[in-house]
Amino acid sequence: MGIFSRTLSIAAASTAAAVMVAALAGPAQAAEKKINIGWTAWSDAEAVTTLAKKIMEDRMGYTVQLTMADIGIQYQGIATGNLDAMLMSWQPLTHKPYLDKVRQDVVDLGPMYTRAKLGWVVPAYIPESELKSIEDLKKPEVKQKLGSKIQGIDPGAGLMQASETALKDYGLTDYQLISASDAAMLAGVERAERRKEWIVATSWSPHWMFAKHELRYLDDPKGSLGGLESVNKLVRKGFYQDQPEAYEFLGRMVLPLADVEAIMFEAQGSSYEQAVDNYIKNNPERIEYWVTGQMKAG
């Protein structure tokens, strides 16, 4: 789910909407070496999308357009052929409602990375003896310290839908799930940490916040927020016939989770472009395999 800053300012959202309208005005250009990739401003999505764009443009001669849009719009864009690809399909749970609607109309190229996870996190300074599991949120003293609030992200995220399910599954009817953004969630965690206040925030792995803050996931014995997930790449039907090199490249593009988190963390101190440049420089054999399908003889 990055993820990524997940929220746009009003101005940025307007710009993104305009771009999306323009992008969906007609079929994606297929015959040219031009690709339209949908993405949402989640930090992990920004990391892998920037990486794919950089390699495809510099090594493969493609022109890559990035179209920012809500995740549900991206699934529809792939299904209708107005987008060529998206690189952040969380499966099997988080994006199930979106994927179920278009499953017959898209092509799944498999994982971009695995061992992704959604959950609710708390700062490590909150004693586990008082708050270890989502079940513990029902304790009156815990509810009071949290102000009966769960800090969320943008309302379109699958994590928010799973969180609504968790509230029902655990009977947390007195709690408010706050819709905000990735940035607002992070600001809330940082503010709470400075004041050593209690907070429960929706989060996910990979995320650079785990490298900056001492956090832990709350146990989820009912499995409402899902277990380990795979973040897959989806392309439109006919994409292979139109862009076989790009199809093969995306099919081979698989990163270890730790590499995704390393790019995300480095980008916080520089930029995604700089972090991606360094990743490409430091992983030449992996990049070569993605581009050519050839593995260096051992």
Taking the model in full, what pTM does it have? 0.72
Amino acid (one-letter) located at 176: Q
More confident residue, 157 or 215: 215
Contact (Cβ atoms closer than 8 angstroms) between residue 120 and residue 216: no
Token digits of residue 281: 């420089």
Which sign, positive or negative, has the C-alpha torsion 14, 206, 176, 146?
A: negative
Q: How many CA atoms lie within 13 A of 197 on its CB side?
A: 16
**CA end-to-end span of the chain:** 36
pLDDT exceeds cutoff 80 at 15: no
pLDDT exceeds cutoff 50 at 2: no
Distance separating alpha carbons of residues 279 and 264, to the nearest angstrom:
11
Average pLDDT, rounded, for the chain: 88
Other Cβ atoms closer than 10 A to 126: 22
| Among the listed residues 268, 180, 291, 236, the one whose alpha carbon sits nearest the alpha carbon of residue 67 | 236
- Residue 1's SS3 state is coil
Contacts 24+ apart (CB under 8 A), 283-290: 283/259, 287/55, 287/59, 289/252, 290/55, 290/249, 290/252, 290/253
Characterize the bridge pairing of strands 201-205 and 106-123. Answer: antiparallel
Per residue in 91-149, pLDDT (tens digit) is 998 899 999 999 999 999 999 999 998 899 999 999 999 999 999 999 999 999 999 99
The pLDDT of residue 27: 47
What proportion of the chain, given as a percentage, has pLDDT over 70?
89
pLDDT exceeds cutoff 80 at 155: yes
Per residue in 54-93, pLDDT (tens digit) is 999 999 999 999 999 989 999 999 999 999 999 999 999 8
pLDDT exceeds cutoff 60 at 34: yes
Full DSSP string of 90-146: EETTTTHHHHHHHGGGEEEEEEEEEEEEEEEEEETTS-TTT-SBGGGGGSHHHHHHH
Residue written as token pair 């401003």: 41
Distance separating alpha carbons of residues 29 and 102, to the nearest angstrom:
21
Per residue in 202-243, pLDDT (tens digit) is 998 888 888 788 999 999 999 999 888 999 999 999 999 999
Contact (Cβ atoms closer than 8 angstroms) between residue 25 and residue 67: no
The pLDDT of residue 232: 98
Which residues, at least 6 apart from 162, have a Cβ–Cβ distance to it below 8 Å?
A: 93, 94, 118, 224, 225, 226
